[in-house]
Amino acid sequence: MIQFVFLSGPTAGASWVARHFPVRAGRAVGNDLRLEAPGVFDRHFEVDVKAGPALELSVLEPALANVNGQPVTRCVLRNGDLVEAGSVRLRFWLAPTRQSGLWASQVGVWLAWFAVLAAQVVLLRWLNS
């Protein structure tokens, strides 16, 4: 998952976590990430997974966006990149992952491992008798 941290505007300091791709950002109501600020278009940019594990930011026409101070139409995002859309400044981060529900799987693996070990001990004793 990815997240954007707002660096400017009334929501400065807040973060927004993406739950699916592509992520569309802009003023319009149907966008995943709503940016209501001067200079932001209805459909400003989108972030999607492209060839390989790369996350690519695509600027939707006729909007303008900067990544790390450079104007772009397409670019691969890296952890910590600064994205500017209109007057909004966002920091792109990989969101922390949650590992829930692994406890039961780990217990199952350990029990299976002990069962195999016990079966080997029983088999060795049977072969030695």
Domain containing residue 80: CATH number = 2.60.200.20
DSSP designation for 18: -
Dihedral of the alpha carbons of 72, 76, 82, 83, in degrees to the nearest 10: 50
126: domain range?
A: 100-129
Instruction: With H, G, I as helix, E, B as strand and everything else as coil, classify residue 121.
Output: helix
How confident is the model at residue 76, as a pLDDT?
93
Asked whether residue 113 falls in the same domain as residue 54, the answer is no
Asked whether residue 90 falls in the same domain as residue 108, the answer is no
In contact, 26 and 17? CB cutoff 8 Å: no
Domain count, the chain: 2
- Expressed in angstroms, the distance from the first to the final Cα of the chain is 57
**What are the per-10-residue average pLDDT scores of the chain (129 residues)?**
89 91 93 92 92 84 89 93 94 81 87 96 92
In contact, 65 and 81? CB cutoff 8 Å: no
Global pTM value: 0.72
Q: How far is CA 50 from the centre of its chain?
A: 13
How confident is the model at residue 80, as a pLDDT?
95
